[in-house]
């Protein structure tokens, strides 16, 4: 960047920026980041409202793990919360990967590395559940991973909804398998953690 030239900051934590002259070249990519950010915030606000209602029903200082048909989830739009996780995972991975792409002059390998660094659990969950279920698109998955990919994905724990909290162990044809344990993430905590970065 030349002295006195302005820059567009694309990652405040890693101090990634595009000189203004470069930003003009990437108008469409930056516009995509803008509308994706608005969609991510919309999903965050919606899920945050539902979490606040469930937390109120649970009560202060109560530690719970809720999955399924619990009284605290009565009339809570769990299906929409689950869909919000799917939408958020796909959208946030696109957002973060394009930032990595911009920061690395259009390098797809570096863009993917950056995305995995910023969104490790979300990225894995997106690949096994959010963008395509392992059930119909298995890729090195255990039978338990495949079965788990289509089990209802969210539970309420630690004051928030989480995907990937459950682990499934099963036996098929005398062989035991266990589903992955490295995909647990909260939409609202993830979003809150990304705000200072972007």
Find where tokens 């338990």 sit. 144
> Model-level pTM?
0.93
pLDDT tens for residues 147-187? 999 999 999 998 999 999 999 999 988 999 999 999 999 99
In this structure, the chain runs to a length of 198
Q: What is the DSSP string of 65-108?
A: EE-SS-GGGTT--HHHHHHHHHHHHHHHHHHHHHHHHHHTTT-H
pLDDT tens for residues 46-86? 999 999 999 999 988 888 999 988 999 999 999 999 999 99
């Amino acid at each position: 960047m030349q002295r006195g030239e302005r820059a567009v900051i694309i990652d405040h934590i890693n101090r990634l920026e595009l000189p203004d002259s470069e930003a003009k070249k990437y108008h469409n990519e930056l516009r995509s980041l803008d509308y994706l950010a608005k969609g991510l915030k919309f999903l965050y606000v919606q899920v945050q409202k539902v979490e606040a209602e469930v937390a109120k029903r649970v009560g202060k200082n109560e530690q719970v793990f809720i999955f399924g048909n619990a009284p605290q989830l009565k009339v809570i739009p769990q299906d929409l919360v689950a869909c919000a996780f799917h939408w958020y995972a796909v959208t946030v991975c696109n957002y973060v990967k394009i930032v990595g792409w911009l920061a690395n002059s259009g390098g797809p390998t570096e863009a993917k590395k950056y995305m995995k660094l910023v969104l490790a659990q979300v990225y894995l969950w997106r690949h096994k559940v959010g963008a395509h279920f392992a059930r119909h698109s298995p890729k090195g998955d255990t039978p338990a991973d495949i079965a788990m990919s289509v089990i209802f994905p969210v539970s309420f724990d630690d004051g928030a909804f989480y995907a990937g909290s459950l682990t499934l162990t099963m036996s098929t044809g005398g062989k035991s398998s266990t589903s992955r344990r490295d995909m647990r993430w909260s939409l609202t905590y993830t979003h809150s953690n990304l705000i200072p970065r972007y």
